[in-house]
DNA sequence: CGAATAAATCAACAGGTGTTGACTTGCTTC
DNA sequence: GAAGCAAGTCAACACCTGTTGATTTATTCG
């Protein structure tokens, strides 16, 4: 018998990565509670039990998804507080390159599962370590408060757009440049007002 | 035998209200998926089946909770766009009176269950009808975009504070007035920038 | 008082959840 | 090539979910 699909040689690190990728994609679109381990396993073409074997528990899998590519943390590009408004506005703009798009996906995963006790605790860690900390340090004076205000705007836009699917903030073609400028201005206000 | 608790006479409207109140309190603190009907029933001192009898389904109960006191809609106080920044800043301040506190609870219920497909759709309706619509109308020029920006900030603060429990935005005593003023300024920027 | 009616409860269903132990398969190394 | 070991699968587990039909209880009306 001729196989149509090539036999995937047994490869622990590859299957692990496959599961991780499948989980990522699911968690971008559904909440922690909404996603079932069987869904993820099915997407990855793997038995459910294997997830438990590799990641211990659903919570462990989620933690690994969230902390997956931490080396590419959200805020390494901007060098000074002055760059922040423009940087964040670009991040919010939807014509982002692949790298930024992936960073935005991580952000959306955070927002989607922020409720749900187990996932929420993991997310709280991530927010403090990878977002609020670096931001506050970069800003300097009143860093903590300013970082919180910036993050609030970021979260609000993300929730309104990606979770609630309200589309008035979806920048379409013509307005994009103007709208991005407005966001830049808003971020600046959060830093200076 | 003497009863310690008075026998509650059978009263359909009263029990209905009790269930509704119990559901409200649960949905403020847990997400749609996280709350079980048995939890709510237990809080209300009632059998689970009664919920189905009164509200048809979990979704029906949630809808009724969300649309409960619609007459007291979120944005009836401000009379003009100029009043909005101060009004929203006051709404965000935590020393709000009972009325505003209740409105904030409704807002948090929205944020908590915005994920979860069933609840999300209900919430989307509410957001358009009771929040974005009135806001845009009040603002006038560029109303839709401005309303979205205002709501973004509102959502961000709510999520960061009540869902993620990040406390740097929790205004404690001394800073409160100063912090409220900053928020007012930020809302103003969202309208004018 | 006794019959009728509505309110509330009981019990169970069918489906789905994460998790676990036993089992089989495939690769590698002697 | 056969043994050993790890990778992957199967099956089942307790548990919990929302929902529903039959049953009991309290109230009301003739």
Same domain? B45 vs B124 = no
In the prediction, which pLDDT does A95 show?
Answer: 67
Rounded distance between C-alpha atoms, residue A130 and residue A175, angstroms = 32
Q: What is the pLDDT of residues A148-161, one digit of tens each?
A: 999 999 999 999 99
Same domain? B36 vs B107 = no
Answer whether residue B75 is part of any domain: no
Same domain? A114 vs A160 = yes
- CATH number where A37 lies: 1.10.10.60
Measure A116 CA to D7 C1' (Å).
33
DSSP state of A134: H
Contact positions of strand D to protein Cβ (< 7 A)? 6-12, 16-22, 26-27
Q: What is the pLDDT of residues B106-157, one digit of tens each?
A: 999 999 999 999 999 999 999 999 999 999 999 998 899 999 999 999 999 9
Measure B55 CA to C14 C1' (Å).
21
Q: Which domain holds residue B47?
A: 12-66
Answer whether residue B19 is part of any domain: yes
Who contacts B145 (Cβ-Cβ below 8 Å, separation ≥6)?
A168, A169, A179, A182
Strand D contacted by A46 CB (< 7 A) = yes
- In this prediction, residue A99 has a pLDDT band, given cuts at 50, 70 and 90, of confident
Count of the separate structural domains present in chain A = 2
Same domain? A51 vs A102 = no
CA distance B51 to chain A (A): 23
Dihedral, CA atoms, B187, B190, B192, B193, nearest 10 degrees? 130
Residue B6, token pair as written in the block? 């008075």
Answer whether residue A4 is part of any domain: no
CA distance A72 to chain B (A): 23
- Is the pLDDT at A79 greater than 90, yes or no? no
Same domain? A39 vs A91 = no
Rounded distance between C-alpha atoms, residue B45 and residue B38, angstroms = 10
In the prediction, which pLDDT does A174 show?
Answer: 60
Rounded distance between C-alpha atoms, residue A98 and residue B143, angstroms = 32
Residues in chain B: 193
Angle between helices A176-192 and A84-92 (to 10 degrees): 140
Answer whether residue A159 is part of any domain: yes
- In this prediction, residue B68 has a pLDDT band, given cuts at 50, 70 and 90, of confident
Same domain? A151 vs A61 = no
**Cβ atoms < 10 Å from Cβ of A114:** 27
Rounded distance between C-alpha atoms, residue A19 and residue A13, angstroms = 10
Q: Which of B128, B145, B152 sits opposite A153 (nearest CB)?
A: B152
Q: What is the pLDDT of residues B179-188, one digit of tens each?
A: 889 999 999 9
- Is the pLDDT at A6 greater than 50, yes or no? no
Same domain? A59 vs A111 = no
Cα separations in angstroms, B105 against A33, B65, B116, B149, B158: 22, 11, 19, 21, 10
């Amino acid at each position: 018998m001729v196989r149509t699909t090539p036999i995937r040689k047994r490869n622990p690190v590859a299957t692990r990565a496959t599961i991780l990728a499948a989980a990522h994609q699911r968690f971008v679109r559904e909440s922690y509670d909404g996603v079932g381990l069987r869904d993820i396993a099915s997407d990855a073409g793997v038995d459910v039990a294997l997830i438990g074997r590799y990641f211990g528990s659903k919570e462990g899998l989620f933690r690994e998804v969230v902390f997956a590519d931490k080396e590419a943390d959200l805020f390494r590009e901007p060098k000074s507080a002055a760059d922040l408004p423009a940087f964040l506005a670009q991040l919010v703009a939807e014509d982002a390159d692949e790298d930024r798009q992936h960073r935005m996906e991580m952000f959306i995963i955070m927002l989607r599962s922020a409720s749900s006790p187990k996932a929420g605790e993991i997310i709280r860690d991530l927010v403090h370590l990878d977002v609020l900390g670096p931001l506050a340090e970069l800003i300097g004076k009143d860093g903590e408060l300013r970082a919180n205000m910036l993050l609030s705007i970021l979260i609000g836009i993300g929730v309104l757009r990606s979770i609630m699917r309200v589309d008035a903030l979806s920048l379409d073609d013509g307005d994009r440049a103007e709208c991005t400028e407005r966001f830049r201005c808003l971020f600046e206000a959060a830093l200076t007002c």
